[in-house]
Amino acid sequence: MNSYFNFENTYTNLPKCFFTEQQIKEVSLPDLVIFNDKLAKSHDINIPLNNKNETAKILSGNFNDRNMNTFAQAYAGHQFGHFTNLGDGRAIMLGEHLDKAGKRFDVQLKGSGITPYSRNGDGKAALGPMLREYIISEAIHYLNIPTTRSLSVIKTGEDVFREKKLKGSILTRIASSHIRVGTFQYAAAQQDIKILKSLFDYTIERHYSDIKNSEYIHIELLNEFSLKQVNLITNWMRVGFIHGVMNTDNMTLSGETIDYGPCAFMGSYDPNTKFSSIDHMGRYSYKNQPIIAQWNIARFAETLLPLISSDLSEAIKKAEVVIKTIPEIYKTSWLNMMRKKIGLVDKKNEDGGILLKIISFSVKMATTVDQSERDAAMKAYQEATEVMWEMAEGDPLINALMREDQDEIDRLMEETMLGVREELEEIIGEVNLDSRECIQRDIEVLRGKIDAGEIDFETAEAEAAKLKERMDRLWGVV
């Protein structure tokens, strides 16, 4: 029996209501489309690549492992603000894989068939959306944003029927876990505090073990989870990523991006941008993502109330303290991110106003300039840059400016100003005694402006030339 993964399942130690054991149905003709070799190596996953057919069979779940116990998870969630019971409708967990460092990851097959939570769906996935999730999740990872990862995409050899006939597919997803806000909502809906506490304890052990000895552990979890989500949303906003369906079942306790549906990156800045065809009111638009994150965290806080205190009013007060701090924490996080993005080194009170002006200009550009004009502007910029680099080859100062070498710029400017000062000294020595006092006074004024940095190089050079011309006239040179 081969062991491609180092499975050691713990989620199935939770009460049975959290999952249903589910066998994986063998697909007719698995065919490997793409495999993430770097991810496999970094996570110590040992899937052979020398036999493509065997690899595809493994990644469709058609293999035996003594520690593999496949199951589908139950959870609930607010979808566009409406609460409903959900669950893995087309995903089956292969197991929890431990890498050599002992770090735990879920390995899940998406598009692997019907489960008890399919809700009249076929449990299958089409090739296009699975490839899209593979690409975007890996892009998000390499943009240094917490995310679930994609190990592989295979074709199943079966047809999937949506608006038209499509090729069936299975994506293998790697995640720190699949514990969602919706999982806690599902636990709370059971109205059994023992069930809720079992999930809470499991989450602490799996993701927040550093606070397990905290005196106020329930509030501490709410606070730590909020910080994870603020960090995640700030990073989404940094790169113009729009998730598209920020339902509570799509917010993980690990703080990872999950479920890449109608998501995309903005092509040009417009805070109202949304990509979900059913999001008619723009609930999950770019500008609303921080607000929805806070709303989702508040729903998570509601599930913790019975654990925070037996006195409901007291529990609400304690939770509200955390929830009300989120906007200010996000504002600080966003400002720090934007400062880095545009190069504001020192933190100043007026930074927020500067950034808002930049954003306002971006909105104006996005709404008043069409793509052809933007392309023309970019082409002109590129051409100008090429000319500047050509000029830089023969001019040390331009070269330093193009390379943004501030030390070299300062050195060259000092040399240039020194040359102007030396020229002034020569002028003083050449002026006759009758006119020296008058012109020397003007020279001293010019020198003072140069030393104080009140005048630029070109103006200083022009003024020095005028003084030289005046002296030449006195000597009858002109």
> How far is 333 from 353, CA to CA, in rounded Å?
16
139, 100 contact by CB (below 8 A): no
Cα four-point dihedral sign 270, 271, 275, 281: negative
The residue whose two tokens read 């899937």 is 47
Cα angle, residue 15 at apex, residues 13 and 19 outer, rounded to 5°: 85
Q: Choosing from 249, 351, 375, 451, which is the catalytic residue?
A: 249
> How far is 320 from 44, CA to CA, in rounded Å?
42
Cα four-point dihedral sign 220, 298, 276, 94: positive
Annotated catalytic residue 346: no
98, 8 contact by CB (below 8 A): yes
Token pair, residue 153, equals 């995409």
> How far is 137 from 34, CA to CA, in rounded Å?
14
Element (H, E) at 24: none
168, 124 contact by CB (below 8 A): yes
> How far is 157 from 224, CA to CA, in rounded Å?
44
Under 8 Å CB-to-CB from 463, ≥6 apart: which residues?
446, 455
The residue whose two tokens read 């065809």 is 277
Distances (CA, A) of 141 to 65, 99, 133, 334: 29, 19, 12, 20
> Of 310, 92, 316, 78, whose CA–CA distance to 189 is shortest?
78
Alpha-carbon dihedral angle through residues 152, 181, 208, 206, given to the nearest 10 degrees:
-50
Cα angle, residue 24 at apex, residues 19 and 29 outer, rounded to 5°: 155
Would you list the DSSP string of 54-110? HHHHHHTT-S--TT---EEE--EEEETTEEEE---SSEEEEEEEE-TT--EEEEEEE
- Residues involved in catalysis: 249
